[in-house]
Structure 1
């Protein structure tokens, strides 16, 4: 089954740091977190979750900016997230960055899904600019798999100029060796106001070849994430559906939705199958 995922009325995205981030990523420079709802204190996070839940929101992506070590400051928010989960039964998906093992273990009974940006290739690591060794990305992945929440979804960025296809293939094989629930592929968007603005979008044929490798190595447990350039979006979306090389597409192109009659879900594309029934997209709600 191939499904499309859109965040509309049943899911919401919250930033624990407002629009601020200590990193200056090559393709973001904090631009992508500025559109998120701000919840900069535990009290405000609980208040925002309660307000949105009363309006029908059932799930939350908890994200925000990172410190210089590439960490989302989620630890101090876990108690109120635990309280909200117990009282409201909401689902939490966290974009945590490079957390320590203690925090990862604390997330087990609070967080349902971890979207983990695995910036391990040369280009991805350089683009993040974190002040710690590249190998920490692998160590944190291992800790997440061994000690963290049930569903861990590594995210791999394609289209960075310093990454060769050969290196990306090695990274895909490495991630697949951990038998993740899902591998999510992103394609860099040349973003105005960032150093990436001068790049050309990644060639679709190259992207498809790498996604096909992930599909083959994971038995089909792959998804196409929300970041991909509009210039290639329709073609890329159509081809991954035709070839059957992903299970999920975030924000699928409207022509592809219509052409293939894709079922739609209201939430992150990382949502486990056990939750999909609660998050069917309802156009009239």
Structure 2
């Protein structure tokens, strides 16, 4: 693991970078889907390029300390199957490439997708949209129905600490529930792209390494790393993000744990000087993709003579987009 090799952080970053380049070539993809404001890709973007859609509107039973449902307010509401179909029709009519279907959670940690499976299957039949679904915890039958509906990928935040589940997410669940969810999605034939939220326990590293070990057992299509940042109006608005050094070490360890899997730095992470430094660490660690990259990340990628690609879809699609 990083920090225990005697190489120091720079040496560990170099090791991770060379491992990534040996397996994927000197490539990086920069993503800018339309569910967040960004000006970095040059040409104007449409709000319908790749938006997020919530099947619960602004509702979430968990009311997690770090979010409090506020992130749902940025999504297009589609609380019925009929409305989801209409929203997706509008996205395609507006020239969009696809959407992230998400929503708040039920008390058991699941996004209520079961009633939307037929609608998603109909959207798949009618359109060419990329359909990426954030599932939360999921049972075997719902996973099977989403697989039959033909979704392009399932996203699931994997939490490796039961204390974090109780105290931050207000969720009475265990690591076994995440193990089962990953297994059910894989059995359904769905490309699974787990997320690890680094520093979610009040800015501290707690269960992230357990989450990484769990994910590695289930042959993910890719891994997305996101980083806690305080959201105004939530119970954790006064907390600090995790220390940059610890996040950089975790990126290195993620590459070592998953040497042959694409790794992306996702859209949820702190802004400002922290973000610029984090993005540079990510490029130094050889991550395969960065969502909404800072100019520092782009400049470093150019300085390292990486082959740069740009995309307006969700970074979860790195498992398809990355080519040697």
What is the TM-score normalised by the length of structure 2? 0.79
Root-mean-square deviation over aligned CA pairs: 2.1
Q: Which residue is equivalent to 2:43?
A: none
For residues 36 and 135 of structure 1, do their structure 2 counterparts lie closer, same or farther at Cα, with a shift above 3 Å needed?
Answer: same
Larger Rg: 2
Q: Which residue is equivalent to 1:75?
A: 114
User: Given the alignment, which residue of 136, 140, 147 partners 2:181?
Assistant: 140
Q: Is the 8 A contact 1:120 1:138 kept in 2?
A: no
Q: Is the 8 A contact 2:198 2:205 kept in 1?
A: no
Distance between the aligned counterparts of 1:274 and 1:32, measured in 2?
27
Q: Which residue is equivalent to 1:108?
A: 147
User: Given the alignment, which residue of 132, 135, 138 partners 1:93?
Assistant: 132
Q: Which residue is equivalent to 1:237?
A: 279
Matched, 1:224 2:260: no
For residues 165 and 194 of structure 1, do their structure 2 counterparts lie closer, same or farther at Cα, with a shift above 3 Å needed?
Answer: closer
Q: Is the 8 A contact 2:99 2:130 kept in 1?
A: yes
Moved more, 122-131 or 25-34: 122-131
Q: Which residue is equivalent to 1:213?
A: 253
User: Given the alignment, which residue of 309, 314, 323 partners 1:263?
Assistant: 309
Q: 1:46-93 CA deviation, whole Å, 9 max, x = no partner?
A: 111111101111211000111111111111111121111111122110
Q: Which residue is equivalent to 2:3?
A: none
Aligned-residue offset at 1:166 = 7.0
Q: 1:78-110 CA deviation, whole Å, 9 max, x = no partner?
A: 112111111112211000111210010111132
Runs of 4+ in 1 over 3 A off after TM superposition: 131-134, 161-167, 272-277
Aligned-residue offset at 1:201 = 1.6
Q: Is the 8 A contact 2:50 2:96 kept in 1?
A: yes
Q: Is the 8 A contact 1:122 1:162 kept in 2?
A: no
How many equivalent pairs are there?
275
Counterpart secondary structure, 2:154: strand
Q: Which residue is equivalent to 2:292?
A: 251
What is the TM-score normalised by the length of structure 1? 0.89
Unaligned runs of 5+ in 2: 1-26, 35-45, 303-307
Q: Is the 8 A contact 1:123 1:163 kept in 2?
A: no
Q: 1:103-159 CA deviation, whole Å, 9 max, x = no partner?
A: 10111132110111112324542321124444212211221222341x101111111
Distance between the aligned counterparts of 1:167 and 1:120, measured in 2?
4
Between 1 and 2, higher relative CO (CA 8 Å, sep ≥ 6) is seen in 2
After superposition, where does 1:196-207 map in structure 2 within 5 Å?
196-207=236-247
Counterpart secondary structure, 1:263: strand
Aligned-residue offset at 1:194 = 1.2
Matched, 1:41 2:87: no
